[in-house]
Amino acid sequence: MAKQPTLTTPVGTAKYPRLNTPDTHYNENGEYRVSLVVTKAEADAFKKQIQPLYDAAYATEVQTKGKELKKSDSFPVMQDSDGDWIIKAKLKAKVISRDGTEHKLNVGLFDSQGNPHSRDEIVGGGTKCKVACRPRFWFVAAIGFGCTLELNAVQILELAEYTPGEKSASSFGFTAVEGGYVNNGETFENTLNEESQNEEEELLEANF
């Protein structure tokens, strides 16, 4: 199908991001991904940007196939099981062309000024960012005509760095409340930091 234009999302909060290194648990070739939490109004507005591209691509595929086609129920702008409105984007870390040539891909990471972000600082859940992505339309007879968002680059506005084995209060959306309960005098972040059995498994449970 025709190559689509790159779209930029509104600023949102990264949920279950895998942006520094690809996840290879289910796909040996690896996959980068992020679910960007936005407001419902922002989700609706972004979906409206995709819709005319979707409609045009669908019409072209119908003309090619010579018949009306089933449409997939899934869409990359949606409300997830937690009730969050999200924009989901992903990128294969490695693709193999028809002649067998391997091509390794990665996600461009930039700071608020457009400078490259250090690959040593892992982008964790709770990071405020914008995502550059390109709609990709496809048709599979058993599933129907659908759309995914190809993840191209991320601009980081507020970094929540991921530390293996720890969860921070900010990753859950909590902030300090003056005069509230303090556990044994420890700081707010230390109180809610806890051992993670395996954050890799939690990332995969996002069903991205």
pLDDT at 182 (0 to 100): 54
Count other Cβ atoms within 10 Å, centred on residue 206: 19
Q: Which two tokens stand for residue 24?
A: 């290879």
Q: Give the model confidence (pLDDT) of 105-127 as tens digits.
A: 999 999 999 999 988 899 999 99
pLDDT at residue 88 greater than cutoff 80: yes
Residue whose entry in the numeric block shows the structure tokens 């991904």:
33
Q: Are 154 and 107 spatial neighbours (Cβ–Cβ below 8 Å)? A: yes
Q: Are 141 and 19 in contact (CB under 8 A)?
A: no
Residue 183 has pLDDT above 60, yes or no: no
* CA distances (Å), origin 123, targets 3, 11, 33, 184: 29, 15, 11, 30
Buried b or exposed e, range 130-145, using 16+ CB within 10 angstroms:
bbbbbbbbebeeeeeb
* Residue 27: both structure tokens together: 């796909």
Domains and CATH numbers, the chain: 7-204 (2.40.50.140)
Residue 14 is predicted with a pLDDT of 97
- Assign 194 a pLDDT band (cuts: 50, 70, 90): very low
Residue 62: the pLDDT is 96
Whether the predicted pLDDT of 199 surpasses 50: no
Give percent of the chain above pLDDT 70: 78
Within the chain, strands assigned E span 7-8, 12-23, 31-38, 77-79, 85-92, 94-96, 102-104, 108-110, 128-140, 144-158
Residue 168 and residue 125 in contact, taking contact as beta carbons nearer than 8 Å: no
pLDDT at 31: 96
Q: What φ, ψ does residue 140 adopt, rounded to 5°?
A: -125, 125
Which residue bears the tokens 């019409």?
59
pLDDT for 167 equals 55
Given a cut of 60, whether residue 207 has pLDDT beyond it is no
Instruction: Answer whether residue 206 shows pLDDT above 80.
Output: no
Name the band, by pLDDT with cuts 50, 70 and 90, for residue 197: very low
